[in-house]
Each structure stands twice: as C-alpha cells, then as structure tokens.
Structure 1
Amino acid sequence: MTNEKATGTAGKKGFFAGRSALGRRKTFGLIAVVALVLCVVVGYPLYLRIISHESTDDAFVEAQVVSISPRVAGHVANVLVTDNQRVEKGDLLAEVDPRDFEVALKIAEAKCASAAAAMQEAEAIASAAGKVMEQKRAALSSYVAELAQARAGVAEFEAGNNRDKSDLERMKKIAQAGAVSRQEYDHARAQAAVSRAKLNSAHRLVETQSARTIQAQAAIGAAEDELHQAQAQVEIKAADLREAEAEVERARLNLSYAHITAPCSGYVTKKTVEPGAYVQVGQQLFAIVNSDVWVVANFKETQISDMRPGQPVEIEVDAYPGVPFKGHVDSIQRGTGSRFTLLPPENATGNFIKVVQRVPVKIVLDAEAGNDGYLLAPGMSVVPSVDISAGSGDERMSARSEQSGTAVR
C-alpha cells in the first residue's frame, strides 16, 4: 500500500514536471518569436537607415566672419558698439579722431583752388598766344599780297622802261639826221630816265616786301613756339589740377574712413578697442559674425560616392539634443582638407602610409524648417546625416542625361 502511494505521488510529480517544462518551452518560444518580430520591426528600418544615410561627427557650424579694421591710423574718439551687439549694414561702429583729416582736406582743397587758378592763367596765356599767332598770319598774308602787287608793278615798269628805251634809240637816230628838234629828243631821254627810275623803285619795293614777308614768316615761327609753350603750360597746369583733385578725393576718403561702419549685418564679437586707444591701419578692432550660417561636414572619402547636391540632411546639434534641424547638401569641395593645408603632404618621399582622407561638404540649413529661434554660432559641433538614397540610382542617371542633353543643346 505504501509503495502504491509512493508510486502515485512520483507519477503526479513527473506529470506536473513535464507540463512545467512544456510551458517553459512554449514561453521561451513565444519570447523568441516576439524578439524576432521586434528585431525585424526595429532592426529592418534601422538597417535601411544605415544603408541609405551617411553621417559624421566631424562637422561644425560655419558663418561669414568679417574682421573690422581701420583704414587710417589715429586715436579712437568713440566706440558705439559692445560685445555681441546686433548691427545692421552701414551702422556706425567706431570713430577715429577726424580733426587731422579735416585739416588735410582743407589743405587739399586750397591746393586744388590754386591749381585751378593757375590752369585758368595758363589758358589765358595760351589764348593770347593764339591771337598773336592769328595776327602774325594776317600780317604775313598782307605782306604776301603786297609782294605780289610789287612784282606785278616791276613787270609793268619794266615794259614801260623797255618801250621808252626803244623810243629814245629811235629818237636819237632821227635827231642825228635832223628830222626832230632837240627839244623832242630831250623829252624822250627824260621819259626813259623816269621809266628807268620807276623800274628801280619797283625792284626796291619788291626787295622790301620780300624782307617783310621773310620777317613775318619768322615772326609766325616765334609765335608758334610761344603758342606751343603756352599749350604745354596748359597741359602741365591741367595735370597739376588733376593731381590736386585726386589729393582732395583722397583727403575726403581718409575723412570718411575715420568713420568705421559695418560692412554687413551681424553680431559684434572679439571687441578689442576702447576710446582713446591709438590704432594702426589694418589693426583688428572687432569682428562681425553674419547671421547666415551653414554646416561644414568632413566626410570620409569612402562616404561621398553617392552624395549629390540637393540631398536632404538631418542635423543634430550638440547644444540642442532632441531638436531636429533640416538642411540639404549645397556642394562638395573639389579636394580633401589635407590638400589645402599650409604644408600639403608629399607622398612622393617614399614614406607613404595610406590614410582615409576627409572631404568637406557644405550643408545649408532649410529656411522653412522653423529653427530660427535657436542660436547657431560658428564652431558649434553638429552631427549631420545625409540621405544618399534621395536622387540616386535611376533618378541620378536621368538627371545626368538631362544635364548632358542641356550641355549638348
């Protein structure tokens, strides 16, 4: 009886132990199935994201940083901005003492006025020389006309003299024959003497007019020289006037440079100047950081094979965990970062070790993302994730075909 009870008790224990093991196996199987489903549900999207996105933590916020420095030296009279102040393009930032530049401008203006007066005087002299030149030319024309008239008179008197000489010769022969009176012969001889005297006078007049013409020509040459000298003086004075005007313009520029204005909108940083300090040309006073920012991500060269401009980017900023920032790839630098260092690596030396290079990629934030309320300053660390599946495969091929067709057209 005791053995039967013991056997029954053992049977019951074995039955329940079997059912418990079966339940545990079912539970483990159910857990395994659930875990497998979870792995598929969670892991597959993660896998898809891994193969369709490229990310890097070697990325930083960049912005246009403009260094502000004076273009003239002097003592700072006033500083109108403070650190981290917002300024707009054209706002007055600081002033260099302008009194020296105002005096220099007045001196330059006085020199310019003097040069203008000298220019007017030279022009007046040149004008007078031109009038003298015209008078000399008019006198020469008159002398040439008189010379021509005198030469015509010589021809006329020479013809009359020849006629009177012929008449005298005939009268002489007739008088010797007793055909004419002595009085008629004397009259013919007097007439020949008069015509000869007129001819000699005409020759002397020609010589006189020739001398006057030569003298007038010489006077014209001298007048031309004086005119050329006067015109040269005008050119010299005009050059002096242009130089004086340039000096005035430079003095005005220097006076305007005494007022240091903002070349762009942004925020003042690294302010290192106070009123009363003496500043040199080119000395940095402060910098202005532009409000427009972008991201420069240094991807490995093995990550950029499928990157294209325009692909969407998700950006995580270390300063704002959990805040999503949206952007897109703007451009990819044509060269690795090491290629543009001060001393680029020289791989032809023989000591070559292959290192995966980094290629800077410019990422522009999307304006419609709605992240304007967050401060993004140059140098802040970010982690961009580029969706390389966008615009890939057949879409990229079609885009390339369209670009090639456009280029051919």
Structure 2
Amino acid sequence: MADIDSKISGATPAEVSPSAENAQDDARKAKRKQAFLLFGGALALVAAGFGIYEWIEGGRYVDTDNAYVAAEVAQVTPLVAGPVLRVAVNDTQVVRKGDILVELDPTDAKIALAAAEADYADALRKVRQTVATGTALSAQVGERQADIARMTAQVQVATADLQRAEIDLKRRQSLVGDGAVSGEELTTARNAYASAQGQLAAARASLAAAQAARGTANGQQAANAALVNGTTPETNPQVLAAKARLDKARIDLERTVIRAPVSGVVTQRNVQVGQSVAVGTPVMTIVPIGQAHVDANFKESQLAHVRPGQPVTLTSDLYGDDVVYHGRVVGFSGGTGSSLAVIPAQNATGNWIKVVQRLPVRVALDPHELGAHPLRIGLSMTATIDTRPDSDRAQKGAN
C-alpha cells in the first residue's frame, strides 16, 4: 500500500515519512466516515418521509380482500298455471328485459277470455235493459196519475148524482102526506138515491185502486232507478265487475308468455317443455350483472371513519390488478354475518374467546366499468376505501 501511495505521490518508499503515511490514513478514514454519514442521513430522510406520508396519507385507507360480487337476482315464476309449450332460453344466455323466456299453453286462458267477454256483453245488455225499463215505468206512473184524475172526476160526478138523488127523495117524501106523490114514485126516488150511493162508493173504490196502482208504479220506478241512477251503462257496478273479470282474463292470457323482468344472464333454469307448472313455481333465475355491487366484509376495527358516499377502488381476481373498478360506499349491513346466521353463535359460556367480527359494507360500482369488464356474482374482490373527509378531497381536486 505504501509503495502504491508513494508511486501516486511521485516519491519512493524511502522518501515517505511515517508522519505522512498517518496523515493519508486519517484522510481516507475521514472520507469513509463522511460517506457513511451521508448514506445514513439519506436513509433517515427517506424513513422520515415515509413515516410522515404514512402518518398523513396511509391511515386514511382501509382495505379488505374479503369482498364478493353480489346482485339483486330476479327469480322468474309463472303467474298462471299451465303446461309448458316452449322454453326460449338456456343457462348462461344473456337476455334483455321483456324478452320471451317461457310460453305456456294458452288454450284454457283463451276459453276463459271468451267466457269473460260474453259475461261483459250480457251485463251491459242487462243494464241497458234496466235503463229502458225505467223509461217504461215512468210512463206507467204517468198513466196511473191519469187514472187517478179520471177516478177523481168520477167520484165528483157520483157525489153530484148522490146529492141530486137525495134532494129528489126528500122532496117526494115531503109531498107524500098531501097525496101529491104516489108510493111508486117515492120508491123510485129511494132506489135512485141508493143507486147514487152505490155509484159513489164504487167511484171512491176505483180512485183508491188507482192511487194504490200509482204507489206501486212509483215503487217500481224507484227500485229500477236505484240500479241505474248516477251511472251510465259503462260505469254501472255490474258492468264494471264484468269488465274487471274480462281484464283479468286478458291479463291471464298475456301471462301465458313469461318475459324477462330484468336484463341479465339466465341461470338455474329448471323447466322443460311439457312440464306442468303451478303459480309461483320457480322456473329460472336472472342475474342482472349490469347492476352488480360488492359486499365487502371489513373488520369492525376498520370502520371507525368509514361513511356512506366515500370512494372505493376495487380489483377482482378475474381480471387482476390491470382492471381497477371505482365505486362508492352505499351503506352498512344491519348486523354482522354471525349475528344474522340461521343459527347465531352463543357466547354466553365460560369457554369464550373474542373473535374480531366483520360487518358487510355495500359498495356500488360504476355501470360503465361493469359494461366494459362484466362481473359475475360470487367473484372475489379486493376493496380499498378512502376515508379522507370530503372537504379534503374537494380541496385536493381543486388544486
């Protein structure tokens, strides 16, 4: 080493003094020490910067890989019973809302519709007949009123005849003592008076009968009017009831064609041609993959600062880290998975060990991203929630 240093300095080993060698060693040690100090300082700065970043930014994120894709699946069930005529879809097939899924035999529904149409026409005819009957009853009431007027006039005539016969009888009775009136004439006068009394009684009876007939006609008119007053033939209750049965028969005929209630993917198809299905029997399920969401199960210790509306970034095991989904926290489940289980855990025993619970958090996904990279329910996801306050995010976006 001394030879090399002496060559560098242009001196021979004999020409280099021990003091010079010591000075060179000290200089090299000082340089190495300075280099170590610079390296250590740089590491300290990096560590400090990382620590500050973690303190400011790192604590605002909570993540979990215990997350799964879910959706509000639509279970398809027939609303009318009947044999299956045709099945138009298969499992894994993509359908749109309104597409035909299953067709039932419409024969019985068509017969029921024809019967309902006949009942409706009959009800309408009967109501119109009732309206016409009301017109006829009104005429009858008028006729009975005319009968009463005629009978009243007859009573008046009979009363006048009776008065005249009474006067004639009294005059003859007063002349009997003078011999001016014969017994035969007196008898005739008496008979005329009695006949006038009978005619008056008959006229009065006829008037009473006419009045009773008018009362009957009035009652019949009122009863008939109660069936049609305030309505038209089309709005009569009987007609409306028949029309409701007709509308139901039409709907039942339409329901023999089962259509997709939502757009999605057909799954769990369990219906075959010729099978007789009952009302409410599940025939298939449609998964609306375009409306999928994520249920992320976070530890209870992670949820102190999680709020609805906070942004969420997600990745799926299906596409990997190359595809990133963006969503929002929608809400929290009403209870943990264990508490909502069919058989909840019972911890009221001496052998109890505390287990960190997880609470499902629902995350809504961007429909455009779902359209570009579709997901299926049950797929695993990794979710990271940004718990930073909205004001900080807005300020950062403005900057």
Shorter-chain TM-score tier: 0.7 to 0.9
2:256 counterpart residue number: 258
12-21 vs 92-101, greater mean Cα deviation: 12-21
Does the 8 Å contact 1:312/1:390 carry over to 2?
no
Does the 8 Å contact 1:96/1:258 carry over to 2?
yes
Q: TM-score, normalised by structure 2?
A: 0.73
Deviation at 1:256, TM superposition (A): 1.0
DSSP 3-state at the match of 1:209: helix
The letter for the 2-side match of 1:186 is: V
1:307 counterpart residue number: 306
User: Which has the larger helix fraction?
Assistant: 1
Gaps of 5+ in 2: 1-12, 229-235, 395-399
Does the 8 Å contact 2:172/2:181 carry over to 1?
no
Aligned partner (choices 174, 181, 184) of residue 186 of structure 1: 181
Distance 1:130 1:383 in 2: 84
Aligned partner (choices 192, 206, 227) of residue 212 of structure 1: 206
Deviation at 1:153, TM superposition (A): 4.1
Residues 243 and 310 of structure 1: CA distance in aligned 2, closer, same or farther (over 3 Å): closer
Does the 8 Å contact 1:316/1:324 carry over to 2?
yes
Residues paired across the two proteins, number: 371
The letter for the 1-side match of 2:277 is: V
Matches within 5 A, 1:377-396: 377-391=376-390
DSSP 3-state at the match of 1:212: helix
1:331 counterpart residue number: 331
1:279 counterpart residue number: 277
DSSP 3-state at the match of 2:181: helix
Residues 17 and 153 of structure 1: CA distance in aligned 2, closer, same or farther (over 3 Å): farther
DSSP 3-state at the match of 2:197: helix
What do you get for the CA RMSD once the two structures are aligned?
4.3
Q: Could you list the per-position Cα deviations for residues 332-376 of structure 1 after superposition, in whole angstroms to 9, with x for gaps in the alignment?
A: 3454445544455678899977654433322222457x5641122
Does the 8 Å contact 1:306/1:392 carry over to 2?
no
Percent pairwise identity: 32
Does the 8 Å contact 1:168/1:192 carry over to 2?
no
Distance 1:132 1:39 in 2: 112
Does the 8 Å contact 2:291/2:367 carry over to 1?
no
Q: Could you list the per-position Cα deviations for residues 231-290 of structure 1 after superposition, in whole angstroms to 9, with x for gaps in the alignment?
A: 8999xxx88766654443333222211101111222222333343333332222222222
Residues 281 and 44 of structure 1: CA distance in aligned 2, closer, same or farther (over 3 Å): same
2:74 counterpart residue number: 66
Residues 227 and 346 of structure 1: CA distance in aligned 2, closer, same or farther (over 3 Å): farther
Does 2:146 align with 1:146? no
Q: TM-score, normalised by structure 1?
A: 0.71
Residues 256 and 302 of structure 1: CA distance in aligned 2, closer, same or farther (over 3 Å): same
Does 2:28 align with 1:30? no
DSSP 3-state at the match of 2:281: coil
Distance 1:143 1:350 in 2: 107
Does 2:360 align with 1:360? yes
Matches within 5 A, 1:5-404: 25-113=33-121, 132=140, 135-159=143-167, 161-162=169-170, 164=171, 168=175, 172=177, 175=178, 185-186=180-181, 196-217=190-211, 219=213, 245-290=243-288, 291-322=290-321, 323-343=323-343, 355-366=355-366, 372-391=371-390
Distance 1:353 1:190 in 2: 137
Q: Could you list the per-position Cα deviations for residues 365-390 of structure 1 after superposition, in whole angstroms to 9, with x for gaps in the alignment?
A: 2457x564112222222222222222
Residues 132 and 374 of structure 1: CA distance in aligned 2, closer, same or farther (over 3 Å): same
DSSP 3-state at the match of 2:301: coil
